[in-house]
A and B are shown apart, each in its own frame.
Chain A
Amino acid sequence: MTDVAAPGAPENITTSDGVPLKVSLARATRRQRMQALLLVLPLLLFLLVAFVLPIGEMLFRSIYSPIGPDVLPNFSKVIQEWDGEDLPPESTFEVFVKDMTAARESNEIGKTVGNLATRVNYEIPGSRGLFTKSARKVKNITEGPYKEALIGLDKRWEDQHIWRTLQRISSNYTMSFYLAATDRKYDENNDIVMADPLYQIYLPIMGKTLWLSALITFICLLVAYPVSYLLATLPLRTSNLLMIMVLLPFWTSLLVRTTAWIAMLQTEGIVNNILVFTRVISEESRIQMIYNQTGTIVAMVHILLPFMILPLYSVMKTIPPYYMRAARSLGATGTYSFVKVYFPQTIPGIAAGTLLVFILAIGYYITPALVGGSDGLLISNLIADHIKKTLNWSLGSALGAILLAIVLIFYWIYNKLVGVDNLKFG
């Protein structure tokens, strides 16, 4: 619609009830837009409660850690004024001792000295004992000078590092879990440094996750390409039959397929039995193929393969066979016409398949947990461990947020290149 009326047309076209046509049309369009939106609204609200808010909660937890202010409420206020030089003033020590004495009485979850000790221990490994021990004796300090009395309890209270850490965690919000999730930490001078290479866990696992996902995606592409080509070129009756062989694994439970791979790959399993039976390997040299990285790769390739085959197939099906024949008739060799004519037309399918498989592979949890052993674990397994076992929820959330960011970047690329509306199954 343009504002310029066509030459010769009446200035104001009105509907039968006298409303200008433009206004009436805009009203009708708005009503239709509202109707469309209204249909989507219930699901949006549902996902808001069931999906968006929970993820928001996780992101919030990755920066929110109120243990310092909760356990030591008054101290957390006064320590902010300390300039970080030397030791805090005597008055701050007094507040600290009183807060610790009060905290000793608390049994409320999240507000005990034990919680504080755990929190500081994340920052300074090995400092837990200092807090639990001092908390037991701190009630005997009833009068000043508090500084000497506290140092008298334990020499470590003389250390600036402890006080700087306490100052840092006295805020409700912290970036320290993101630092920990990227193997960084604060040193004695409050500067951010890389952790000791020996203690770097998360960056190497993240690197391994990305590398393994890329490798799995690449293997999937290599395996899926010829199969999709075959399916796309065979007559429909045969290809429908073969398609069942692709779709059946796709529809089979993930756990069933993982179980099946255990049966296939274990040392007494079918693959090893066949190899021994056909004398390719001897009875003694059975290969360990499961509960390690190999097992993870094989099982994940099998599980993710349909996600590569289906988009490739749907693209290849639309490529007319006479393009290749034309290239051949113009004198191109088979290889040349494939590289120059066929392959470029399959690139949309390759983009869709690789991005989808890669996105799904990065976040995989079940298969690595079951067949990965110790060296086939991925970042998701580490996140689950922090949430369910070590209970360092903030660190788990920070790792989750980083993983989520990586996945969303690739999802955005997928959206730009392929478009979500082009996702199809079967």
Chain B
Amino acid sequence: MSALDKLPAPGYIAFGVACVIAYLFSGTLVATIGFAIIIGLPLYFMSDLPPYATWLEKFGQYIFLLICTMIFIFLITPVLIIMPLSFNSEPYFSFTQGMMSLDPAAFSTRWYQDIMLFGMNDPNRVDGWWSDMWNNATWVKAAFNSFKFAVLATIMATFFGTLAALGLSRPEMPWRSAITSLLISPMIVPLVITATGMFFFYAKKDTFPFFPDGLINEDLGIVLAHATLGVPFVIITVTATLTGFDNSLIRASKSLGANGWTTFRRVIMPLILPGMISGALFAFITSLDEVVAVIFLADVHQVTIPRQMFSGIREQISPTILAVATVLVVISIALLTTLELLRRRSERLRGLSPG
């Protein structure tokens, strides 16, 4: 059955009339085509309703699909729209006339170059360009800091989080629900409160070993904060992979003579690895995106990408932010793909879905 057969004839007619009205109203072809796509998509996707469906129900189904189409447009447009905008050759946040008519001169990669050039002492020099870029370019330094904090915080959160999840999913764990609530709470407590508390506590002098002046303006302070925020994600994902974990596997391994460490490495680890990796990815992206703790705890030299974006949006809004944002979106697409592949692998390993 082709898609066309599914369409009720009155649907076609209404569609045509709506397009004509839209054209007469707006007077532009581009707008009419856009309108036609939006109202036409649900018509195309209308599923076969049972034969007893009334006209009112068919109309209702159409309205429902139209609403869903618009919600999906609402969800995805802001994320996608920044990509073409970042190739603007003008320093504006909106599409220019030239971009609308696809004039090549209206597009440029200058904002991507600006990611490296912004903050450099002399972008035009020949010798020492690379060291100048590496040492002075604001966004490069911010990216370096961001990844440094994110990697360290992720390692910390994944290590502690996985251990705790292994304990929590044991049937004999005492006070399980109280402890789980506590371990998840960094995700629930507003960031401003967490950051305020850390701002006071980490500023204490002579409290922390090796850091007599406290942890404010120290890398360790930010890493601790970010690890705290990442822990709930690791716990949730690792616990999820451990549900339905067959404890007889451990006994089987022990009866075959493996000690505790070998059992963990050869039996438990491969099963929870997908959960660990996706938890680590969540923790990583949380840290990479975190700005409140950085605002409260970091000094000017510890600028991260989100911190730089935050001040950029507040002070001198430029399309460089859009270029950075596009790079970040590409990174999140890559992470999302990894996660989806891991999820499928995990389900296959645990035999939850066929194939």
Contact = CB atoms under 8 A, between A and B. Distances in A.
Interface of A: 29, 32-33, 35-40, 42-44, 46-47, 49-58, 61, 223, 226-227, 230, 242, 244-249, 251-264, 266, 268-270, 273-274, 277-279, 302, 305, 334, 359, 362-366, 370, 380, 383-384, 387-388, 393, 396-397, 400, 403-404, 407, 411, 415, 419-421, 423-426
B181 A39 contact: no
Interface stretch (B1-9, B101-109, B250-258, B281-289): B281-289
Given A57-B200, A277-B31, A411 B185 contact: yes
A169 B199 CA distance: 25
A363 B194 CA distance: 11
A397 B192 contact: no
A407 B189 contact: yes
Contacts of A226: 64, 67-68, 71
| Residue from B26, B174, B200, B295 having most chain A Cβ neighbours under 10 A | B200
Contacts of B87: none
A264 B172 contact: no
Interface stretch (B12-20, B118-126, B158-166): B158-166
A248 B76 contact: yes
Nearest to B70: A223
B296 A388 contact: yes
B191 interface: yes
A43 B79 contact: no
A255 B305 CA distance: 10
B90 to A, nearest CB: 11
B276 to A, nearest CB: 14
Given A260-B79, A411-B185, A36 B92 contact: no
Interface in B154-192: 156, 160-161, 163-164, 166-168, 170, 172-174, 177, 179-186, 188-192
Majority SS at the chain B contact face: helix
B38 to A, nearest CB: 12
Interface in B49-89: 57, 60, 64-65, 67-68, 71-72, 74-79, 81-82, 85
Given A54-B201, A226-B67, A273-B95, A425 B306 contact: no
Contacts of B166: 39
Contacts of A419: 177
Contacts of A260: 78-79, 81-82, 325
A307 B53 CA distance: 34
Contacts of A255: 289, 291, 306, 309-310, 313, 325
B237 interface: yes
B189 A363 contact: yes
Given A40-B163, A254-B289, A47 B182 contact: yes
A223 B289 contact: no
A425 B237 contact: yes
A411 B164 contact: no
B28 interface: yes
Contacts of B333: 248, 251
B277 interface: no
Contact of A270 (B94, B167, B197, B325): B94
| Residue from A51, A387, A397 having most chain B Cβ neighbours under 10 A | A51
Nearest to A251: B332
Contact of B288 (A253, A257, A269, A421): A253
B335 A251 contact: yes
A411 B188 contact: yes
Interface in B90-118: 92-95
A244 to B, nearest CB: 7
Contacts of B161: 43
A47 B94 contact: no
Contact of B192 (A35, A253, A380, A415): A380
Nearest to A55: B197
B205 to A, nearest CB: 12
B231 interface: yes
Nearest to B190: A363
Contact of A278 (B31, B79, B192, B224): B31
Nearest to B224: A50
A55 B194 contact: yes
A51 B228 contact: yes
B325 A256 contact: yes
Given A223-B71, A260-B81, 8 more contacts: A29-B172, A33-B172, A40-B163, A46-B231, A47-B228, A269-B94, A278-B26, A400-B197
Contacts of B77: 264
Contacts of A52: 182
Contacts of A266: 93-94
B177 A415 contact: yes
Nearest to A60: B200
A54 B199 CA distance: 8
A370 B198 CA distance: 23
Contacts of A258: 313
A244 B336 contact: yes
B321 A397 contact: no
Contacts of A42: 160, 163-164
A195 B72 CA distance: 47
Given A42-B163, A54-B200, A425-B236, A279 B25 contact: yes
Nearest to A298: B74
| Residue from B60, B79, B233, B236 having most chain A Cβ neighbours under 10 A | B79
Interface string B314-354: 10010001100100110011011001100100000000000
B225 interface: yes
Contacts of A269: 93-94
B239 interface: yes
B328 A363 contact: no
A264 B93 CA distance: 9
B224 to A, nearest CB: 5
B167 A425 contact: no
Contacts of A302: 74-75, 78
Contacts of B194: 51, 54-55
A365 B179 CA distance: 27
Contacts of B292: 365-366, 384
14 contacts: A39-B170, A40-B179, A44-B179, A47-B186, A47-B231, A51-B185, A55-B189, A242-B72, A270-B81, A365-B191, A366-B291, A384-B292, A423-B236, A424-B240
